[in-house]
Amino acid sequence: FALAACIALATGMRRGEIFALEWSACNFKTMRINVFQAVKADGSVGAPKSISGVRSIAIGVRLSTLMNEMRDWRERILPTCSGDDNKPVICKEAGHRANLDIFEHWWRSWADDNGWEGLRFHDLRHTHATLLISGGTDVKTVQMRLGHSSADITMNCYAHAIPLSDTSAAASIDSSLFG
């Protein structure tokens, strides 16, 4: 389950998208994850929340990135589930999709035990977006990574992150204009 948290932080994917993610959607050559399905509240797998939710998300390229963690996990888990690329990334024994209720219990225990009482798994998605925006990533790129249908939705959710960039913006313009 820790891998699910790493994927959420590194990609901003929704919980249902992460739990529907299959190995065939993870391209280790192009360092991208293709999102095209999600686990729904009733446990079924279907299309993401919106048409904009169908997307391809780039993953970092350094040696210690998420893709390497995923590759290591794949090497450990796939031999136990016949090596099928259509198996879920977040799975239990024999490659069966992990139960979201069991995951939620694990998440709540992990968060509480580690001093993050009240932290929702969805907050990792918010952290991803806030870090991108405060780091200077343009809102359109954040919108596409999150699968929002418009930049307005992204701005309404994450505009609070923009003041964090104001100091660096002032330094940049100061440097450009005065020296």
Strands 45-46 and 55-58 turn out to be unpaired
Query: Virtual CA dihedral for 75, 89, 15, 126, nearest 10 degrees?
Result: 40
Residues 55-70 have pLDDT tens digits of: 999 987 665 678 888 8
pLDDT above 70 coverage of the chain, percent: 89
User: Which residue in 165, 135, 132, 162 sits closest to 57, CA to CA?
Assistant: 132
User: What's the pTM value of the predicted model, to 2 decimals?
Assistant: 0.83
Residues 17-46 have pLDDT tens digits of: 999 999 899 988 888 999 999 999 888 999
